[in-house]
Structure 1
Amino acid sequence: MAIFSCYVDVERFLGEPVKELALFLSCLRREDRLSVISTIARFFQEVDHLSEFYRFRKERKEEFLSSLPISSGERNALWHLIENFFLRQSENSSGKPIPQDDLIALRKGRLFEELVYHLGPVSKEKVELTSMHCQPMVNRKRVEIRCKNRVLSNKNLDVVFWGKGYVEGYECKGNVQFFLELGLRGGERGRKVREKVMYLNQLGRFLSFFFREVRVYLASFAPDVDLKRCRELALQYVRECGRRELHFEIITVEDFIRYL
């Protein structure tokens, strides 16, 4: 039987505000988890910039907190963590300050990865090992993923869970529809989006030859996306590789939590 494993090249920058908020949300009571995380995800979908956070805090903070099905103490603790998430300054690994709006966007993606890591996998009884930022390996060799004559390797999955004959991998995006729409553009940015989608599809298909059950997800932290449109765009991109079906599933954070 084939052996799955991960090669991790570089750990990504992750600050305390992300870790603290992710742990708080991961430790919520099961009956509160979907409601609270969905509300937070919609808040993050709406508030992208520091100026928008200041406006939200002034005009809508109390309404937002009162909608959460948790105690007043938990609401206060959560708001403190949210403020740190948006306002705490940080530097990158080279010691250079990161513009706060860029830092907020970076933290959103890292937060979703951490939530998937702490709350997953979907099939807990089948999983023995977990990795973040994983370049998949089969029988201790990094897999080579191709689209016709194009090599798509040296890419990774944000979170992977695996066990005997089972692989469950996640590519996490703040807003998957926004991500996929970028693939319609020309230039380097659009090309990278299309290649990532091709990679996910070819990877899902490739791994299915070696393992009994393979689940690859392209997951959106933003819950309010048009999944039909997302699938149409993904199919458009994978046709470049001669594929007519998706070998990965597009889901939202709400789908992920419901699966647990």
Structure 2
Amino acid sequence: MALFSCYVDVERFLGESVKELVHFLICLRKKERISVILQIAKFFQYVDHLKQFYKFKSEKKEEFFSSLPISRTEKEILWKLLENFYLKHSENSSGKPIPQDDLIALRKGRLFEELVFHLGPIKKEKVDLLSMHCQPMVNRERVKIYCRGKELSGKNIDVAFWGRNYVEGYECKGNVEFFIKLGLSGSEKAKKVREKILYLNQLAYTLKRHFETKIYLASFAPEIDLEWCRKTALEWVRECGAPKLDFEIITIADFLKTIK
């Protein structure tokens, strides 16, 4: 029987403002947690930049509060955590400050990964182990993924859950529709986006030969054109000779509906 495992090369840095917000959200009462996380996801989808945050604070904060099924005290705590998330500065390893809008985008990605890690998997009864930033391995050898003879190397998945004969993996993006649109041009960045889509599909196809496998490309932004995303991704994977998508594209709303 084949054995699945993960190789983790480098752990990604997770700042205090992300840790604190994740801790608050996952510690909410279960009946309120899903609703609050979904409202936070909608908030993040439309409040991308620092200027938008200040505008939202002055014009829509109370409306936002009214959408949350938690106490006034909890709402005030949550807002303080959101302020830290948007306003707290940071530096990179060289000591140079990171532009705040870039930092906000980075934190959103980390937040989504952490939420999936703590709230998943969908099939809890089949999972014994979990990992973040996983380069998949089968029988203690890294899985090599190819597209028409070319290796798609140096890639991983953000979150992996696995057990005996079962693998559930997630590539987490702040907004999958925006991510796929980045792949439409002829730039080097667009090429990497397309290669990631090819990698996910070929990885899912390869792992399915050994295990019951579910690979997800997940969007923290809940209000996206899923049909267009799936159609575009399918056009790209056909470049590798794949007749269908072997991974699934979902949103945070889809994920929250299925977790127990």
For the aligned pair, the TM-score class normalised by the smaller chain equals over 0.9
Structure 2 equivalent of residue 33 of structure 1? 33
Structure 2 unmatched ranges of 5 or more: none
Q: TM-score, normalised by structure 2?
A: 0.98
Q: What is the Cα deviation at residue 181 of structure 1?
A: 1.3
User: Does 2:243 match 1:244?
Assistant: yes
1:1-260 alignment, distance < 5 Å: 1-211=1-211, 213-260=212-259
* Paired residue type of 2:167: V
State the distance in 2 between where 1:199 and 1:67 align.
39
Distance in structure 2 (CA, Å) of the matches to 1:107 and 1:59? 24
RMSD: 0.9
Cα distance in 2 for partners of 1:158, 1:257 equals 18
Is the 1:6–1:135 Cα contact (8 Å) retained in structure 2?
yes
Distance 2:93 2:3 in 1: 34
Identity percentage over the alignment? 68
Query: What is the distance in 1 between the residues matched to 2:164 and 2:238?
Result: 31
Q: Distance in 2 between matches of 1:112 and 1:19?
A: 11
Alpha-carbon separation, structure 2, partners of 1:124 and 1:113: 17
In structure 2, what residue type is equivalent to 1:217?
Y
Contact kept, 8 Å, 1:147 with 1:202, in 2: the verdict is yes
1:96 is displaced (CA, Å) by 2.1
The question of whether the paired residues in 2 share the 8 Å contact of 1:145 and 1:203 is answered with: yes
The amino acid that maps onto 1:164 is R
Distance 2:23 2:122 in 1: 18
One-letter code aligned to 2:227:
K
Contact 1:13–1:93 (8 Å) recurs in 2: no
Amino acid in the other structure paired with 1:67: S
Give 1:63 shift.
1.1
Q: Which structure 1 segments of 5+ residues have no match?
A: none
CA distance in structure 2 between the aligned counterparts of 1:229 and 1:100, rounded to whole angstroms: 31
Structure 2 distance, partners of 1:215, 1:28, is 28
- Secondary structure in structure 1 of the residue aligned to 2:97: coil
1-side partners of 2:202 and 2:170: how far apart? 14
d(CA) in 2 for partners of 1:93, 1:133: 20
Hey, what's the Cα distance between the residues in 2 that align with 1:5 and 1:236? 30
Contact 1:3 1:140 in 2 (8 A): yes
Q: Which runs of 4+ in 1 moved over 4 A?
A: none
Residues 13 and 92 in structure 1, CA contact (< 8 A), matched pair in contact too: no
Aligned to 1:93, the other structure's residue is in SS state coil
**Whole-angstrom distance in 1 between the partners of 2:196 and 2:177:** 14
Distance 2:216 2:28 in 1: 24
One-letter identity of the residue aligned with 1:223: P
Amino acid at match of 2:53: F
Give the secondary structure class of the aligned counterpart of 1:125. helix
SS of 2:224's partner is coil
- In 1, the alpha carbon distance for the partners of 2:120 and 2:94 equals 32
Kept in 2, the 8 Å contact 1:181–1:233? The answer is no
CA distance in 2, matches of 1:9, 1:249: 26
> Is the 1:172–1:219 Cα contact (8 Å) retained in structure 2?
yes
Counterpart amino acid of residue 220 in structure 1: S
SS in 1 for 2:205: helix
SS across alignment from 1:219:
strand
Letter in 2 for 1:34: I
Distance in 2 between residues matched to 1:258 and 1:67, nearest whole Å = 19
Larger mean CA deviation between 24-33 and 101-110 belongs to: 24-33
SS at match of 1:210: coil
**Residues matched between the structures, number:** 259
Q: 2:115 is matched by which residue type in structure 1?
A: L
Counterpart amino acid of residue 14 in structure 1: L
